[in-house]
């Protein structure tokens, strides 16, 4: 999508607005499947939490993906998008046994990362196959907010607790059909991932009825010019060789599974905002936009750097700006960033806004969540309406205080 298309979308659907390019999503999906083209059975389960719009899920279905879900609501979204339950894997953390049982009743694959829940579920439902999420105690990405495979993580069952798992499986006579890990996001070093994979292979040897091994995801995508990214082709070549060897020794062709979210949709998304005001202080020039961390929290939550372009003035002289929002908090998107000269009314585009952006939006300050648009086959399609005031008050229940006595102590 060029700047003219983006500006037209901002005009047609107002700002702020999220825009996704289906062509980039398809390209990333094919890139990943091609990297593992020498594996007989590969399954890409899209991580719904990255971007859960039902139209995006339907797009993933046309590409041949399954779904990785973390809540019963995401499972139901997948079913509503047309996925059959066997194409959905449920990988929750910290949820109740009742929620897991409800998802199992829907027919989705179950992935458990807690010894207590594993024993309870196996005791009550020994005939329901279960995948086990392992914590390999491997740090990926260097940031504990996005690295979930380290020793202090709440995710997964420790590799040091394998004997406990085996005892539970033996006592309950349950079937383990998969082994899973997810080391976290922004994997830069392929060798670190391969090291964690070896731990997963060693774990898998303990289970004789596996159907798949799920290696999670977390592949790094570039967020700015010159940024590094996971070399997915090199990684595919190395892991393919090791996986095929394992299957040969295991005596059975297993499915190699991944659960990418950011890799598939991050670069496909752009977030368009309008500049409300340009404010000069004694030390800083602020570009104040019609959004805030209620719409895009990643820069504030994770310190992520989204490239920002002034698509209204792409050839203007570069100046230093701090781009901030309209929320009554510190909601700084960028500090002293070089951006083409900004004037009030200009449209700025935030790059890499496809993953964990809209899906983490809120109504803080009683602001409306923005619209979402999918650019598909050369046309803009509205896939989520902008919220209205009715949406803000829809589920609120008013008390008529005129009819009720209020005691003041």
Cis peptide before 16 (omega within 30 of 0): yes
Q: Provide the Cα torsion 169, 174, 175, 181; round to 10°.
A: -50
CB 150 within 8 A of CB 101: no
309 exposure class (CB count in 10 Å sphere: 0-12, 13-18, 19+): middle
Catalytic residue from among 131, 247, 328, 357: 328
DSSP run (H or E) holding 391: helix 389-393
Is 328 a catalytic site residue? yes
Exposure pattern of 351-375 as b/e (b: 16+ CB <10 Å)? bbbbbbbbebbeeeeebbbbbbbbb
CB 148 within 8 A of CB 157: no
Those residues with Cβ within 8 angstroms of residue 395's Cβ, 6 or more apart along the chain or in another chain: none
Query: How many Cα neighbours within 13 Å face the side chain of 306?
Result: 30
CB 101 within 8 A of CB 113: no
CB 198 within 8 A of CB 211: no
Active site residues: 328
């Amino acid at each position: 999508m060029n700047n003219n298309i983006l500006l037209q979308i901002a005009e047609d659907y107002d700002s702020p607005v999220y825009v996704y390019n289906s062509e980039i999503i398809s390209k990333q999906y094919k890139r990943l499947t091609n990297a593992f083209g020498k594996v007989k059975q590969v399954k890409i389960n899209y991580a719904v939490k990255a971007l859960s719009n039902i139209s995006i899920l339907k797009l993933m279905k046309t590409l041949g993906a399954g779904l990785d879900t973390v809540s019963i609501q995401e499972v139901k979204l997948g079913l509503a998008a047309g996925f059959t339950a066997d194409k959905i894997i449920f990988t929750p953390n910290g949820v109740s046994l009742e929620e897991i049982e409800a998802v199992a009743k829907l027919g989705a694959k179950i992935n458990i990362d807690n010894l207590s829940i594993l024993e309870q579920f196996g005791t009550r439902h020994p005939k329901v196959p279960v995948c086990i999420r392992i914590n390999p105690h491997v740090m990926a990405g260097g940031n504990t907010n996005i690295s979930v495979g380290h020793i202090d993580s709440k995710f997964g069952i420790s590799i040091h607790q394998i004997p406990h798992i085996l005892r539970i499986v033996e006592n309950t006579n349950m079937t383990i059909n998969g082994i899973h890990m997810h080391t976290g996001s922004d994997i830069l070093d392929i060798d670190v991932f391969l090291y964690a994979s070896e731990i997963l292979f060693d774990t898998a040897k303990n289970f004789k009825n596996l159907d798949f091994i799920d290696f999670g995801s977390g592949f790094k995508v570039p967020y700015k010019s010159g940024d590094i990214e996971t070399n997915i082709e090199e990684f595919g070549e190395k892991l393919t060789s090791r996986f095929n060897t394992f299957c040969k020794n295991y005596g059975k062709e297993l499915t190699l599974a991944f659960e990418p979210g950011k890799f598939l949709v991050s670069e496909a998304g752009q977030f368009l905002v309008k500049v409300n005001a340009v404010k000069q202080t004694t030390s800083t020039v602020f570009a104040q936009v019609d959004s805030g961390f209620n719409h895009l929290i990643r820069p504030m939550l994770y310190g992520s750097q989204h490239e920002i372009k002034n698509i209204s003035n792409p050839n203007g002289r570069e100046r230093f700006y701090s781009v901030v929002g309209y929320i009554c908090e510190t909601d700084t998107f960028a500090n002293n960033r070089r951006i083409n000269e900004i004037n009030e009314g200009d449209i700025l585009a935030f790059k890499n806004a496809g993953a964990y952006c809209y899906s983490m939006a809120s109504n803080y300050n009683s602001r409306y969540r923005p619209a979402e648009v999918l650019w598909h086959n050369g046309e803009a399609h509205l896939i989520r309406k902008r919220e209205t005031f009715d949406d803000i008050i829809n589920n609120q229940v008013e008390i008529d205080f005129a009819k009720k006595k209020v005691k003041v102590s």
